[in-house]
Each structure stands twice: as C-alpha cells, then as structure tokens.
Amino acid sequence: MARQLDYHTIREIFTRFQAADPAPKGELEHVNAYTLVVAVALSAQATDVGVNRATRELFKIADTPQKMLNLGEAGLIEHIKTIGLYRNKAKNVIKLSKILVEEYGGEVPNSRAALQALPGVGRKTANVVLNMWWHYPAQAVDTHIFRVGNRSGICPGKDVVAVERAIEDNIPVDFQQHAHHWLILHGRYHCKARKPMCPTCIIRDLCQFEDKTQ
C-alpha cells in the first residue's frame, strides 16, 4: 500500500484527469433510475460490455419494476443467461422489483440505506446509482479503484470502505462528482492489474507505484 499523497499532488492528478476527459460517464446503458439499479446489480463479476449486450433488448420491454414482474423470473433469465451468476441475479431483480412496487410505488429510493436494503444491491451499487442518477458525489469503489488507489497513493486503504473514505477525505470537492469514474476508467484502460501501461500514463511522475513497468 502506497502512502497517502498530499493535497497538491492529488489536485494535479485530477486536473490532468479532467483535462483528458472533462465529463467521464459510466459505461452501463440505462434509461432511468430503475434500469440503472438493475444494470449495476447485474454487473457484479461481469463486464459492462456483457451486461449491456444482455440488457439492450431487456430494457425495451421491462424498464419499470412492474414490467419486470410481468416478464417474470423465467423471462428475465432468457435475457441475462449470458451473464455470470444469472440465476441468482434474476431472483434478486425480481425480488427488488416486487419491493419497489409494494413499498415505493414503483419508484427507486434515493438514500443509500434504502437502496442497500434491496436484494442484490450492496454499497457499491447504491453509490453508483446515487452518483450517476442523482448526481450525489458518492464514491463506488470497485476492484479498479481499489487497485489504482493503493498503487498510486491517491486513496490507499486496506478495504473498499477505507478507500471510499480516503477518496471523500482527500480528493478536492470540485473533483468529487466524477472522481470514481476517472479512477475506474484509469484502472480499466491504463493502470491494468497485470500489465499497467506506465510508460504512457498521464500521472506517472506523480504516482507512487514502485514497479512502473510496461
């Protein structure tokens, strides 16, 4: 684990991220808050590309909790069977859809606690939804952010909650809205797990990763 970078270094890092990509966006396709919840829940241990491929047709016919219940678990499985753990995920999507219909009038709640109470929705999923749909600066820490944060010193922590707190505590407020997207995209396309692309990294001179290899 790298040591926590100082304020000025972090500000320079995010200034560069912002210059390279002023308005980064999540890559999961969705049409409303409900489809975003479903897409993020389905993305656990799966790629965004794979989820988008499966949900593209699904969301044309089931873009509300009631429509998903009308489709049913068997119908949902037919759409998402290419995604890992699809049977369990289908059960959770049907369960959360039922709760949304019965307890929230078909609307998606916008508190972290209420979201996390839904089947198949963890803290990361809740934070993604709060950030992407309601533009609240919640920080969804996935494996990419955990890796980048600990390699670079931007937001080191022994677990995802510690990394989330490090982001909130150390990244300047004006970068908080897009912080997790910049970090995810940097980890996905540059600071890769096995072969980080250090020679072309825009923050190489500021990063604390000791093994700055190809």
d(CA 69, CA 182): 35
CB 145 within 8 A of CB 181: no
CA–CA dist 72, 98 (Å, integer): 11
Structure tokens at 72: 């049913």
Say how far apart CA 27 and CA 91 lie, in whole Å: 24
Dihedral in degrees, nearest 10, Cα atoms 126, 67, 28, 74 = 100
Q: What is the set of active-site residues?
A: 124, 142
What is the number of other CB atoms lying within 10 angstroms of the CB of residue 186? 25
